[in-house]
Amino acid sequence: MAIRDIIILPDTQLRLVSKPIEKITPEIRALADDMLETMYEAPGIGLAAIQIAQPLRLITMDVSKKEGEKDPRVFINPEIISSSEELSVYEEGCLSIPDYYEEVERPAKVRVRFMDIDGKVHEEDADGLYATCIQHEIDHLNGVLFVDYLSKLKRDRVMKKFTKAARLAAK
Ligand code: GNR
Ligand code: NI
């Protein structure tokens, strides 16, 4: 297992549409292990493969509520198959947009279909933080970031801040 570097704004790889996983190979298992390790170390509650520069439809997540209890989860080729009319607001953050948090409104409940690391297909109903997080992560697989849901003013402000920071870091 290894901790990988997380890419941040304005890295254009974050806008790629990730490719479906055709076969669960030892390399995919190793990648999922590295993603879990990287996610816990960050720390974050979810990670999409593109955040470590791998454009594959693979997500890791741990939204366990109990302090000290781990619930590491892997989602392969996840899809949202239905969404509630009801919406809910959560303050979101993203490991690829460090130290920036804003409220985002999304469907409160979703039904998700995915494959686990053994290739078994599951369908689950998600609500609360799980629903928010799975939507945030599936957005990453489609090149979408939570700042895309904010006003143009807020989005431009955060994009500019990260573009400037990258320019300064490169000098
Ligand atoms: O760690 C994370 N916390 C979080 C909080 C609210 C809504 C979504 C998230 S996901 C984020 C990690 C991340 O960037 N995943 O892509
Ligand atoms: Ni994110």
pLDDT in tens, 111-136: 999 999 999 999 999 999 999 999 99
DSSP 19: B
> pTM of the entire structure?
0.97
Domain extent at residue 66: 12-170
| Residue 1 domain-assigned (yes or no) | no
**Does the beta carbon of 93 sit less than 6 angstroms from any atom of ligand 1?**
yes
Inside any domain, residue 7? no
Q: Which residues pair with 18 in a beta bridge?
A: none
16 C-alpha vs ligand 2 centroid, how far in Å? 14
Contact 49, 93 (CB under 8 A): no
Q: Which residues are catalytic?
A: 137
Number of domains into which the chain is organized = 1
The residue type found at 45 is I
67 pLDDT band, cuts 50/70/90, is confident
Above pLDDT 90, what percent of the chain? Answer: 96
Residues 46 and 44: their CA atoms lie apart, in Å, by 6
- Give the 3-state secondary structure of residue 97: strand
State the Cα–Cα distance between residues 86 and 70, nearest whole angstrom.
Answer: 29
Question: Does the residue 165 lie in any domain?
Answer: yes
DSSP assignment string, 104-161: EEEES-EEEEEE-TTS-EEEEEE-HHHHHHHHHHHHHHTT--GGGGS-HHHHHHHHHH
Indicate which CATH number applies to the domain containing 142: 3.90.45.10
Report yes or no on 6 lying in a domain. no
Whether residue 137 has its Cβ less than 6 Å from ligand 1: yes
pLDDT number for residue 162: 97
Residue with the bigger pLDDT between 67 and 22: it is 22
Distance 95 CA to ligand 1 centre (A): 7
Instruction: Name the DSSP letter for residue 56.
Output: B
Q: Is residue 21 part of a domain?
A: yes
- CA 10 – CA 159 distance, rounded (Å): 7
Sorted by sequence, the CB contacts under 8 Å of residue 66 that are 6+ apart come out as none
Please report the pLDDT score of residue 66 as a whole number: 79
Average pLDDT for 63-77? 92
Query: Which residue from 45, 57, 146 has its CB within 8 A of the most atoms of ligand 1, so it is best to mutate?
Result: 45
- CA gap 125, 117 in Å, rounded: 19
Assigned domain for 117 exists:
yes
3 within some domain: no
- Ligand nearest to the Cα of 45, by number: 1
Q: What's the longest Cα–Cα distance across the chain? A: 48
Q: Report residue 8 as tokens.
A: 């941040």
**For range 153-165, the mean pLDDT:** 97
The ligand that comes nearest to the alpha carbon of residue 47 is 1
Q: Which residue type is seen at 3? A: I
Mean pLDDT over residues 50-60, rounded? Answer: 98
Please determine, for residue 171, whether its predicted confidence score (pLDDT) is greater than 90: no
Tell me the per-residue pLDDT of 85-113, one tens digit each, with 9 for 90 and over. 999 999 999 999 999 999 999 999 999 99
| Cα of 56 from ligand 1 centre, angstroms | 18
Q: What integer pLDDT is reported at residue 1 of this predicted model? A: 84
60 lines ligand 1 (CB under 6 A): no
